């Protein structure tokens, strides 16, 4: 039996702001676009729990947040600072893991099967991890513990904030059954609405569906959500935390959902990476797509080829497939990036200076 955990920092950007300005702890804090006295455009990135009491939540238009609580503390997104805190926290999390996979700036899956023996020991290990992060860095987090990614993620969400939740494999389907179908990990807004339209209101409804219907509607993704609804699923954790990598990013002038434009940018990024790997003589094994949304949340989605390659068309193919798979139609994007890692260099070992870019 594998033990997979998801550690997710609570209201991360706002928590980072509270950390450097402790006087904010007693106030509603909203990190995001400039509200400009209620006329501002853009959205809320993150807010603390005090702000949530007023109905404010992430991805909400900043003008609406302003109307709900004009005297809340509104702060701009200081991404560099949050990334610096993220690096520290993730380094600690990694020390607890047999395998470590960061999926966003404040979230990571870890496989701890080699470190624990059974559920009880997994639970105390999760406590140890949580305490270590909270005590060392003063940032709150939640941990979900189970045997696969879906259950670990859903357990973590259910335990928030500042919680630890364990869901045993055999209790998975029951744990999920009453939740609305749109809450299932891996189901986005559009898919959620489509499933509702097909008559699946709760995750339990989806678990009892005829999988054939789901596959004919959604292809292999239909089979995947059917398994998820039944508490089964992927238990792999793919190491992606690589210092040794080459990547490029593009920020769009305006947030965009224009898929042709996004694909063009992915291809143009890949051209730059091609120039770089030819210059340096690198081969690579892993390709990661990074998507940053208007609210500054990020998705990292990676794929390992299983062998070394220097064929850039593979990077393009994989990056575009990950984009098609993980970004829904109509979803707006702020920034897109592609990164190759697990590098190898012809003619000997790599030096650290090879990675300075």
> In the complex, which residues of this chain contact Mg ion (CB under 5 A)?
8-9, 12, 106
Q: How far is CA 298 from CA 118, 184, 294, in A?
A: 33, 19, 9
Q: How far is the CB of 348 from Mg ion (least distance, A)?
A: 41
Q: Which is nearer to Mg ion, 82 or 175 (CB)?
A: 82
Element (H, E) at 305: strand 298-309
Minimum gap (Å) between residue 295 Cβ and Mg ion: 12
Measured distance CA(205)–CA(155) in Å, rounded:
19
Beta carbon nearer to Mg ion, 84 or 171: 84
**DSSP code of residue 36:** G
Cβ–Cβ under 8 Å, residues 166 and 122: yes
Residue 208 Cβ, how far from Mg ion at the closest point, in Å?
Answer: 31
Element (H, E) at 222: helix 220-229
* Residue nearer to Mg ion on the CB measure, 106 or 298: 106
Written as six digits, the tokens of 159 are: 């335990």
Calculate Rg over the CA atoms of the chain: 21
Catalytic residue numbers read 107
Judged by phi (left if over 0) then psi (alpha if -120 to 50, else beta), residue 57 lies in: beta
Beta strand 107-111 with 4-9: parallel, antiparallel or unpaired?
A: antiparallel
Q: How far apart are CA 247 and CA 284, in angstroms?
A: 12
* 50's tokens: 């005090």
Residue 334 backbone phi and psi in degrees, to 5: -100, -35
- CA-CA distance, 200 to 206, in Å (whole number)? 6
Q: Please give the sequence-ordered ranges of beta strands (E in DSSP) within 80-187, or none if there are none.
A: 99-104, 107-111, 141-146, 164-166
Rank residues 16 and 340 by Cβ distance to Mg ion and give the closer one.
16
β-bridge pairing 29-32 and 73-75: parallel
- Would you state the structure tokens that stand for residue 301, as one six-digit string? 């989605």
Closest approach of Mg ion to the CB of residue 229, in Å = 23
Distance CA 278, CA 177 (A): 51
Q: Of the two residues 140 and 222, which places its CB atom closer to Mg ion in the complex?
A: 140
Q: Which C-beta is closer to Mg ion: that of 11 or that of 282?
A: 11
Measured from the CB atom, the residue of 12 and 282 that comes closer to Mg ion is 12
């Amino acid at each position: 039996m594998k033990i997979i955990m998801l550690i997710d920092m609570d209201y991360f950007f706002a928590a980072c702001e509270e950390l450097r300005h402790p006087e904010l702890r007693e106030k509603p804090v909203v990190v995001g676009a400039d509200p400009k006295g209620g006329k501002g455009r853009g959205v809320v990135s993150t807010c603390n729990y005090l702000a949530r009491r007023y109905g404010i939540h992430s991805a909400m238009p900043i003008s609406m947040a302003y109307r709900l609580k004009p005297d809340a503390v509104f702060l701009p997104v200081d991404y560099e600072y949050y990334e610096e805190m993220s690096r520290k926290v993730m380094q600690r999390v990694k020390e607890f893991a047999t395998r470590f996979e960061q999926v966003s700036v404040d979230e990571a899956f870890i496989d701890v099967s080699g470190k624990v023996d059974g559920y009880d020991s997994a639970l105390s290990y999760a406590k140890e991890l949580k305490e270590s992060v909270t005590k060392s860095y003063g940032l709150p987090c939640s941990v979900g513990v189970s045997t696969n990614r879906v259950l670990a993620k859903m357990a973590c969400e259910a335990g928030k904030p500042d919680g630890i939740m364990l869901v045993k494999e055999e209790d998975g389907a029951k744990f999920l059954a009453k939740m609305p179908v749109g809450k299932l990990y891996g189901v986005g807004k559009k898919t959620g609405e489509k499933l509702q339209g097909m008559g699946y209101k709760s995750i339990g409804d989806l678990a009892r569906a005829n999988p054939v219907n789901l596959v004919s509607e959604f292809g292999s993704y239909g089979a995947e959500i059917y398994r998820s609804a039944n508490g089964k699923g992927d238990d792999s954790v793919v190491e992606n935390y690589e210092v040794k990598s080459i990547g490029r990013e593009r920020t769009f002038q305006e947030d965009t959902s224009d898929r042709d434009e996004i694909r063009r940018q992915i291809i143009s990024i890949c051209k730059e990476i091609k120039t770089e790997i030819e210059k340096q003589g690198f081969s690579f094994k892993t390709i990661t797509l990074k998507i940053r949304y208007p609210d500054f949340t990020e998705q990292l989605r990676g794929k390992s080829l299983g062998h070394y390659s220097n064929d850039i068309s593979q990077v393009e193919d994989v990056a575009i497939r990950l984009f098609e798979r993980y970004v829904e139609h109509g979803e707006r994007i702020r920034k897109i990036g592609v990164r190759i890692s697990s590098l190898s260099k012809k003619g000997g070992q790599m030096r650290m200076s090879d990675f300075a870019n």
